[in-house]
Amino acid sequence: MNPLNPPSAKSSGLQRSALVASLAERRWLIFVLLVILSLLSLMVFTALHWAAMPPSRVEKIDVKSVHLRGEFIESNLGTAQEASGRVVVRLVAQQYSFVPQCLVVPEKTPVTFRGTSTDAIHGFLIGKTNANTMLIPGFVSTFTTTFEQQGEQLMPCHEYCGVGHEAMWAKVQVISREEFQSRMQREERLNCVSR
C-alpha cells in the first residue's frame, strides 16, 4: 500500500467488491470447465464403449423428384427381399402419413428400413424396438433392426411436423419367417395396407 496515498473507506470498499467479483468469476470458470470436461469425457466414453460415431455415410436425394423416379417411387415402396436375401423396407413420410401405412416384416431377421420425407422432418420410431431416427427431406435415413416377436407394433411419427402430427402413424406387422417367405414368393413387394 502506498503510504503517501492511504486508501479512503470508499476505495477499500471498491477493492473488496472487486475481490469478491474475481473470486466469483473464478468459481464459475472452474464450474464451466468441469461441465465441458465432463461432456468431452462422455463423448470419448460413448465413442469407445458403444462405438458411437457421427454419421459417415450421408445419402442425399432430390426431394422434388422423390415421387417421380428412383428408389422411392410408389411401386417400389414396402418390403422387398434382395437377391442376397436381405430384407429391405422402403417408405416415405409426408404430412401427415407414412406410405405404406402398414408394413410387413419377418421375425428374427435383420430388417433394413430406408426412408425419406417429402416435406417436413418426421420421426420414425417402431414400438418396442430400438428403431428410432428422423426422416428428413433431401436425405435417406436407414435403420436396421431385428424383431424378436410376432405381432403388431405401432409406428408413430414422433417429431412435431405440423397440425396433423398427432394423427400420423403407421403399423408394423411382424410375421413368421415361413409366412414371410411364402408371401414373398407370390408378391414382389409386401405391405398390409387394406384396399
Give the binding site for ligand CUA (CB under 6 A): 96, 122-123, 157, 159-161, 165, 168
Q: C-beta of 123: minimal distance to ligand CUA in Å?
A: 6
Q: Which is nearer to ligand CUA, 168 or 174 (CB)?
A: 168
d(Cα 13, Cα 3) in Å, to the nearest integer? 18
Residue type, 159: E
Q: How many CA atoms lie within 13 A of 165 on its CB side?
A: 12
Q: Which is nearer to ligand CUA, 121 or 184 (CB)?
A: 121
Cis upstream peptide for 96 (omega within 30°): yes
Q: C-beta of 164: minimal distance to ligand CUA in Å?
A: 8
Q: Which is nearer to ligand CUA, 159 or 191 (CB)?
A: 159
**105 with 90: CB under 8 angstroms?**
no
Q: C-beta of 84: minimal distance to ligand CUA in Å?
A: 32
Q: C-beta of 166: minimal distance to ligand CUA in Å?
A: 8
Of 164, 169, 58, the residue nearest 123 (C-alpha): 169
| Bridge pairing between strands 151-156 and 139-146 | unpaired
